[in-house]
Structure 1
Amino acid sequence: MVAELYGAPIDEAWRRLGHRGQAVTVESSLRTDGPDAGSRRIRVVNGDLDLEILPDRGLDLAQLRVAGMPFAWTSATGFPPIVPGPDDDGWLRSFGGGLLTTCGLRSFGAPSVDEGEAHPLHGRYSSLRAEVTRTEVTDREVVVEGTVREVEVFGVHLELRRRISTPIGSRLVRVQDHVVNRGAAAVEPMVLYHLNLGWPLVDEGTVLHSPATAVEPRDAQARAGLGSWDRFPAPAESYPEQVFRHELPLRERVDIVVASPRGAAVRIAVDTARLPALFQWRVAEERGHVVLGIEPATVPTILGRADARARGLLRPLAPGGVLELGVDVEVMPGA
């Protein structure tokens, strides 16, 4: 299929435009007001796709809009700096949601103490600032690249090299990560991609199509909703969060699709050889918490690093070793 921009082949579109920035651009800016004042933003416009990137939160993704419609859930906190603490407070006071919040690089899920070291809720990644190394519009795609490091003196030194791209004329966002162990000793990474979808895509009757062979509830609250895990409920005044674990076919490239009864849909593609676990997080609470989280991960526990070690799920990454991860998010035609 020939790539198109506004109904014209890409090469023809480039000849017709006075400047490519009329239709496709990547722009960097600095926030001057609000809870994230002083932080950097990168905006990618690709035809009717509009994406915000957060360099000061590890090149995570904030809002994604297509033809003006928002697809990501963002919380009322905005995206202020995260100060990791021993409990949930630092995270919950600054979890802006967005299309992608990366959790890791050494722990995700519940806070825990592993081999004497405390790990905060969902790890430290979102508190790390990226070094942006490339922002470019090429003939065929828009590319943003950067490096994020989780490092301590005499300790761990993990480097994540991230590449975010979107082919010209598409509604696809691709995140490709290389986690490199730059330290002198083996390290056991834990990474989860916290993808957050919101209204109007997510509402009563929205359906989650999962390739799971089995779905398990995390706790009693999730068990109460297990019979309808695939169909989003009607929002209510109070709706405790529910988390489900999906058992995926291994060593396959699979699609997870979230489809609204209004016609919009989002496809999330993952390689289960690299991300063999999947969690689903949902809250159907009016006044700001109508959200469906799709969370591919490297290990099948959401209970923190200590639980992963106790269950023998951690895998060492040798000095110089590379762990390749990534996820695709695409707004489907017709949205």
Structure 2
Amino acid sequence: MTDVRRETEARLGAVERSWGPRSLRAEGGAGDGRRQIDLRGLGELAVTVEPDQFLDLGETFWRGEAVSFTPPSTGARAESWGRRWLGGLLTTCGLTAVGRAEPAEGGMHGRAHLVPALVTRSEGRWNGDAYELEVTGLMREGAIFEQNLVVTRSITARHGESRVRVSDVVRNDGFAEVPLKLLYHINLGWPLVDEGSRVSATTAPAWEAELTAPVPLEPEKVDALVADAGDDGYATATLDAPGTRVTVRYRTAELPFLTVWRSAASGSYALGIEPGTCWPSHADGPGSGKTGRMLAPGEEITTDLEIVFEAHPPA
């Protein structure tokens, strides 16, 4: 261990107050009353965690600019997915439906975005010379005589590094085998999403596309892809924008599918990079990719993904 910690403590008397997670509550607007946890000082990245929405990642700023998708939402308690979805960097879809679904299945993209987290840890701590931030919580989607799925989520980051890692342990606490439909809806918006930016993915076959300018009433595009892992077991999807690269890394053993959602509609202009155990029900892909992963009673899986922001080309 070098003297980084002591050199820091010599200059900053209470590191946790400046660098650690900060809890607050939103006032006014579509997210009124929601609990939030701010992760600051991640290099040039700042991320808000949303405990009242499955411990998802909300508003995200890169180099002082809001870069996560911000839809024209009515409010978090509105009657439909389209009116209550607040966007943000990561929205969890599932756990029993992804894509279009009947109300009995939770409706569009399931119920996960309605499930509040029990936050069990929110802290910053030294690990050698690195100051690490961690937010952990527990979420349950279940009903009497139906499924009983429990997710323990850990969000980790390091001070000074513009990356966030999300790892979930998903366990079937019920007593019948159930399908797990889980999709990580990672949402990027303007100014990173703009005409001339490119998105690519390590899939089979390899896939890439150039983004276009917004057009009124332009139909959305949904590409259903099969992830192709490298030797480390991870696949990647990348957005290259002027001056910035955003890379999503995810382990394909648990998340074998990738959906890329492109919305060029004016006012709803966004890019979704979406690793999952399945594709959305409305994606143009084989039905075998939409069934999800079966979990036996007492079985659990651990997913892992990382979102990295960096200057491109490197400064």
TM-score range, shorter chain: 0.7 to 0.9
Q: Is 1:161 the counterpart of 2:127 in the alignment?
A: no
- Structure 1 unmatched ranges of 5 or more: 84-89, 217-228
CA contact (8 A) 1:10 1:168 kept: no
Q: Is 1:75 the counterpart of 2:71 in the alignment?
A: yes
Give the strand-richer structure, 1 or 2.
Answer: 2
| Cα drift, residue 198 of structure 1 | 0.6
**Separation in structure 1 between the aligned mates of residue 184 and residue 74 of structure 2, nearest angstrom:** 19
**Separation in structure 2 between the aligned mates of residue 246 and residue 315 of structure 1, nearest angstrom:** 16
Partner of 2:261: 281
CA contact (8 A) 1:82 1:126 kept: no
TM-score, with length taken from structure 2? 0.88
CA contact (8 A) 2:46 2:61 kept: yes
**Separation in structure 1 between the aligned mates of residue 19 and residue 138 of structure 2, nearest angstrom:** 24
Partner of 1:230: 209
**Separation in structure 1 between the aligned mates of residue 15 and residue 146 of structure 2, nearest angstrom:** 46
Match of 2:46 among 25, 43, 50: 50
CA contact (8 A) 2:200 2:209 kept: yes
Partner of 2:120: 133
The within-5 A match list for 1:245-324 is 245-249=224-228, 252-260=233-241, 262-286=242-266, 288-303=267-282, 313-324=291-302
| Cα drift, residue 82 of structure 1 | 5.9
| Cα drift, residue 9 of structure 1 | 4.6
How large is the Cα RMSD of the aligned pairs?
2.6
Letter in 2 for 1:298: T
CA contact (8 A) 1:215 1:247 kept: no
Match of 1:64 among 55, 60, 64: 60
The alpha-carbon distance between structure 1 residues 108 and 132, as it changes in their structure 2 partners (threshold 3 A), is same
**Separation in structure 1 between the aligned mates of residue 83 and residue 151 of structure 2, nearest angstrom:** 25
Deviation by residue 1:112-171 (Cα, 9 ceiling, x = unmatched): 48xxx5441111100111111110011131000100100111221111000011022110
Partner of 1:104: 94
| Cα drift, residue 257 of structure 1 | 1.2
The alpha-carbon distance between structure 1 residues 312 and 199, as it changes in their structure 2 partners (threshold 3 A), is closer
**Separation in structure 2 between the aligned mates of residue 66 and residue 289 of structure 1, nearest angstrom:** 20
The alpha-carbon distance between structure 1 residues 291 and 158, as it changes in their structure 2 partners (threshold 3 A), is same
| Cα drift, residue 18 of structure 1 | 2.9
Partner of 1:243: 222
Q: Is 1:94 the counterpart of 2:50 in the alignment?
A: no
| Cα drift, residue 282 of structure 1 | 0.8
Match of 2:170 among 176, 179, 187: 179
CA contact (8 A) 1:255 1:267 kept: yes
CA contact (8 A) 1:255 1:268 kept: yes
- Structure 2 unmatched ranges of 5 or more: none
Question: Does the residue aligned with 2:228 lie in a helix, a strand or coil?
Answer: coil
The within-5 A match list for 1:198-217 is 198-214=189-205
The alpha-carbon distance between structure 1 residues 10 and 332, as it changes in their structure 2 partners (threshold 3 A), is farther
**Separation in structure 1 between the aligned mates of residue 51 and residue 221 of structure 2, nearest angstrom:** 30
Partner of 2:27: 32
**Separation in structure 2 between the aligned mates of residue 315 and residue 62 of structure 1, nearest angstrom:** 27
| Cα drift, residue 215 of structure 1 | 7.2
Question: Does the residue aligned with 2:52 lie in a helix, a strand or coil?
Answer: helix
Which deviates more from structure 2 when the two are superposed, residues 19-28 or residues 159-168? Answer: 19-28
Q: How many residue pairs get matched?
A: 304
**Separation in structure 1 between the aligned mates of residue 179 and residue 297 of structure 2, nearest angstrom:** 11
Give the share of equivalent positions with the same residue, in percent: 32
CA contact (8 A) 2:257 2:276 kept: yes
